[in-house]
């Protein structure tokens, strides 16, 4: 075996593994490098040194006769890869989020007034979300958790779109597909504009008749998105997000194989965000409570394998979750740690034992010098905390 600089790598060489790199790259298997394009891919991905087996180097003739041999596959970017720190992404993410809310308001007005929605603007918004997710998914994930209880109708669709983007990225979908999913998620509840306000805004439990009317919103969403020309995937996401695997969902009572992987994904994400949302008339669940409820619906209602992937994707303590540490300190999960999900970075700002605010400080629970650990997710109401105010004043750059 021989270690060489990436610049000395040539077509026909057999790469055993990556020795030195800058960034997060995974080479799926050992194999031959076919051409300069493969070498360029490795260089662009941050590979600095590789180990080769000189005895397996192919000459040009041999290479032409071994086209079926296993070759070095293009490197795959780690789905948790972060090219910028969360602090650097937060400001831009907040700006995009606010612009997306304005776009939602405009779309509701357009539908109400009989005008078609501007498809281009929604595609651009979804694309912006995806760019942010690929730079550092923690920024938008944090915003999606810290929400205004009076803004559920608009923020829910934005949050579902963000979570779908993160989920699809985790599953390794290509960029074009993620954009379709994110756009469909942005519009999945657009049909609610056709539901009377007295039903849509009713804080108490709906009557059977009112619930029958409310269920129609999914049909309206399907038709609006389809007529806008956004394609089958986006239309199904908008129309089928309340369908369930056992056929007990609505409005079409579809089941099993009638529900695509993308519809199964949106059904999980939609319910998760609804369960964890703070509303005027309902205190949101903690992520762990929401996961337990979703798990109880498997395998009859939800796809258990996809649910497990979603939980792994966003973690038991997602970014933006308020948590209490064993030291009685309280803070917000500020950055994820995929290698050790129970040891994220927590931005502490309160002492639960003495009931007073403390100096804002980042605690990296994976740091061996830190003698502290997560105890539980908590609700801001327990301590009279205003997370939105804290987010604006302490987390934004």
- Looking up residue 231, the CATH number of its domain turns out to be 1.10.3210.10
Residues 47 and 194 reside in one and the same domain: no
Residues 179 and 294 reside in one and the same domain: yes
Cβ contacts of 17 within 8 Å, gap of 6 or more: 27, 30, 50, 51
Residues 243 and 297 reside in one and the same domain: yes
State residue 70's pLDDT score.
39
Q: Which of 55, 77, 99 is the last residue of a domain?
A: 77
State residue 62's pLDDT score.
40
Digit-coded pLDDT (tens) for 242-287? 999 999 999 999 999 999 999 999 999 999 999 999 887 778 899 9
Name the least confident of 20-29, 122-131, 141-150, 343-352. Answer: 20-29
Name the percent of the chain lying above pLDDT 70.
91
Count of domains observed in the chain:
3
Residues 267 and 350 reside in one and the same domain: no
Residues 149 and 270 reside in one and the same domain: yes
Residues 29 and 7 reside in one and the same domain: yes
Q: Which of 288, 314, 340 is the last residue of a domain?
A: 314
State residue 167's pLDDT score.
95
Contact between residue 84 and residue 136 where contact means Cβ atoms under 8 Å apart: yes
Residues 178 and 224 reside in one and the same domain: yes
Residues 113 and 208 reside in one and the same domain: yes
Structural domain of 148: 86-314
pTM (2 d.p.): 0.78
Digit-coded pLDDT (tens) for 43-102? 767 778 888 888 778 764 443 333 333 344 444 445 556 778 888 899 999 999 999 999
Residues 94 and 196 reside in one and the same domain: yes
Residues 67 and 96 reside in one and the same domain: no
- CA geometry: angle 20, 22, 28, nearest 5 deg: 65
Residues 62 and 197 reside in one and the same domain: no
Give the count of beta carbons closer than 10 Å to the beta carbon of residue 254: 18
CA proximity to 322, closest of 388, 236, 238: 388
Q: Which of 77, 97, 122 is the last residue of a domain?
A: 77
Residues 268 and 345 reside in one and the same domain: no
Digit-coded pLDDT (tens) for 294-341? 999 999 999 999 999 999 899 889 999 999 999 999 999 999 988 788
């Amino acid at each position: 075996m021989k270690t060489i600089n990436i610049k000395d790598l040539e077509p026909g060489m057999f790469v055993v593994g990556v020795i030195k790199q800058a960034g997060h790259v995974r080479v799926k298997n050992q194999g031959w490098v076919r051409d300069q394009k493969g070498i360029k891919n490795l260089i662009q991905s941050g590979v600095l040194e590789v180990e080769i087996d000189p005895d397996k180097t192919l000459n040009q003739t041999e290479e032409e006769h071994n086209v079926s041999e296993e070759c070095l596959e293009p490197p795959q970017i780690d789905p948790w890869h972060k090219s910028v720190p969360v602090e650097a992404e937060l400001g831009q993410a907040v700006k995009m989020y606010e612009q997306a809310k304005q776009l939602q308001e405009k779309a509701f007005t357009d539908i109400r007034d009989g005008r078609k929605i501007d498809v281009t603007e929604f595609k651009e918004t979804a694309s912006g979300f995806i760019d942010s997710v690929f730079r550092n998914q923690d920024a938008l994930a944090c915003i999606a958790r810290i929400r205004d209880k009076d803004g559920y109708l608009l923020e829910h669709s934005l949050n579902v779109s963000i979570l779908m983007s993160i989920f699809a990225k985790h599953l390794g979908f290509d960029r074009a597909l993620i954009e379709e999913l994110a756009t469909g998620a942005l519009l999945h509840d657009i049909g609610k504009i056709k539901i009377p306000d007295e039903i849509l805004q009713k804080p108490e439990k709906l009557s059977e008749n009112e619930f029958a009317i409310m269920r129609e919103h999914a049909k309206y969403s399907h038709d609006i998105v389809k007529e806008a020309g956004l394609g089958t995937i986006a239309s199904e996401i908008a129309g089928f997000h309340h369908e369930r695997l056992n056929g007990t969902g609505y409005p079409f009572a579809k089941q099993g194989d009638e529900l695509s992987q993308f519809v199964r994904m949106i059904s999980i994400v939609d319910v998760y965000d609804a369960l964890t949302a703070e509303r005027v008339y309902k205190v949101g669940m903690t992520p762990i409570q929401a996961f337990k409820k979703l798990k109880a619906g498997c395998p009859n209602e939800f796809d258990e394998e996809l649910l497990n992937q979603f939980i792994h994707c966003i973690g038991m303590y997602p970014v933006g979750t308020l948590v209490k540490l064993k030291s009685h300190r309280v803070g917000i999960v500020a950055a994820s740690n995929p290698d050790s999900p129970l040891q994220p970075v927590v931005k502490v700002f309160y002492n639960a034992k003495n009931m007073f605010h403390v100096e804002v400080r980042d605690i990296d629970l994976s740091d061996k010098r830190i003698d502290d650990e997560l105890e539980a997710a908590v609700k801001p109401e327990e301590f009279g905390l205003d997370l939105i105010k804290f987010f604006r004043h302490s987390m934004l750059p």
